[in-house]
């Protein structure tokens, strides 16, 4: 099924933010910050995997992903869609179906037995591969998959995250230095805008979230978390 409609990026961003609130995939809690795997303390948390459990939401988000890619990258720019283990795998399958392309998936590390494969599926030498993740914070995990695809003979000039934190300068530097154009649909700024518009939280919570988005590592440090990314 090929996507052929192209909503404005701002419309897609707002709708995805609204969907995330509707299915309770995003959370704000400034009083008891979340501890992330990086050691950061954060007043925001997201679980994009919940998108898979809501067919209408899931379908709309994948339509938006396809539209974003064709608008910003082109119509015949990819030979294959690659999903990163584990959360990226189902979204890769859905996007590959939308775009009528083959799909592969990339392990975090070679599996250690059999063929010791890190990439599962068929990827010809020189294939132009799009790597997809459900979300990207600073880009570190996506580049593990990108590097594996490149090492296996694939060409990666583009990546897409359904949701992008959009608050770390390190991420922009990583993608620029890695020669990868990152595409995305929505960010925490979009989620915050919907929360303000719908008055989902008190002003103190919204102000704290905005302070975190403006200076995430400083906010983390003030709340007992790490002050730099690994």
The string of pLDDT tens digits covering residues 27-52 is: 999 999 999 888 899 999 999 999 99
Q: Does a structural domain hold residue 88?
A: yes
Burial 182-193 (b: 16+ CB within 10 A, else e): bbbbbbbebbbe
Query: What 3 state SS string does 162-218 have?
Result: EEECCCCHHHHHHHHHCCCEEEEEEEHHHHHHHHHHCCCCCHHHHHHHHHHHHCHHH
pTM of this structure: 0.93
Structure tokens at 4: 């052929």
| The pLDDT of residue 229 | 79
pLDDT confidence bin for 21, thresholds 50/70/90: very high
CATH code assigned at 79: 3.40.50.2020
Which residues participate in the annotated binding site for 5-phospho-alpha-D-ribose 1-diphosphate?
A: 107-108, 111, 113, 133-141
Q: Does a structural domain hold residue 46?
A: yes
Q: Does a structural domain hold residue 26?
A: yes
pLDDT digits (tens, 9 = 90+) for 169-213: 999 999 999 999 999 999 999 999 999 999 999 999 999 999 999
- Contact status, residue 78 vs residue 72, Cβ threshold 8 Å: no
| The pLDDT of residue 2 | 74
Which residues participate in the annotated binding site?
A: 107-108, 111, 113, 133-141
pLDDT digits (tens, 9 = 90+) for 62-86: 999 999 999 999 999 999 999 999 8
Q: What is the mean pLDDT of the chain?
A: 94
| The pLDDT of residue 228 | 87
Beta pairing partners, 45:
27
At residue 114, does pLDDT exceed 60? no
Q: Does a structural domain hold residue 227?
A: no
Q: Does a structural domain hold residue 229?
A: no
**What mean pLDDT do residues 106-127 have?**
81
Beta pairing partners, 129:
80
Q: How many domains does the chain have?
A: 1
Range of the domain at 109: 9-222
In the three-class reduction of DSSP (H, G, I as helix; E, B as strand; rest coil), residue 103 is classed as strand
Q: Does a structural domain hold residue 1?
A: no
**What mean pLDDT do residues 215-230 have?**
91
| The pLDDT of residue 33 | 95
**What mean pLDDT do residues 152-158 have?**
97
Q: Does a structural domain hold residue 13?
A: yes
Q: Does a structural domain hold residue 3?
A: no
Which residues participate in the annotated binding site for orotate?
A: 137
| The pLDDT of residue 154 | 96
pLDDT digits (tens, 9 = 90+) for 185-197: 999 999 999 999 9
């Amino acid at each position: 099924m090929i996507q052929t409609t192209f909503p404005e990026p701002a419309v897609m961003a707002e709708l995805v933010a609204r969907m995330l609130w509707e299915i309770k995939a995003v959370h704000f809690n400034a009083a008891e910050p979340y501890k992330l795997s990086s050691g950061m303390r954060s007043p925001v948390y997201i679980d994009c995997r919940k998108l898979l459990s809501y067919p209408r939401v899931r379908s709309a988000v994948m339509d938006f992903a396809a539209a974003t890619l064709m608008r910003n990258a082109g119509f015949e720019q990819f030979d294959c869609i690659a999903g990163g283990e584990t959360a990226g795998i189902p979204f890769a399958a859905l996007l590959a179906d939308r775009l009528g392309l083959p799909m592969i998936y990339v392990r975090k590390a070679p599996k250690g037995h059999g063929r010791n494969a890190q990439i599962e599926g068929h990827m010809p030498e020189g294939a132009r591969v799009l790597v997809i993740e459900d979300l990207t914070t600073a880009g570190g995990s996506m580049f593990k998959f990108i590097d594996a695809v490149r090492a296996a003979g694939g060409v990666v000039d583009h990546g897409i995250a359904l949701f992008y934190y959009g608050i770390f300068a390190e991420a922009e530097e990583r993608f620029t230095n890695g020669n990868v154009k990152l595409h995305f649909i929505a960010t925490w700024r979009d989620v915050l805008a919907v929360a303000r518009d719908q008055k989902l939280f008190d002003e103190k919570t919204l102000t704290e979230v905005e302070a975190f988005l403006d200076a995430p590592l400083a906010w983390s440090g003030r709340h007992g978390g790490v002050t730099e990314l690994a």
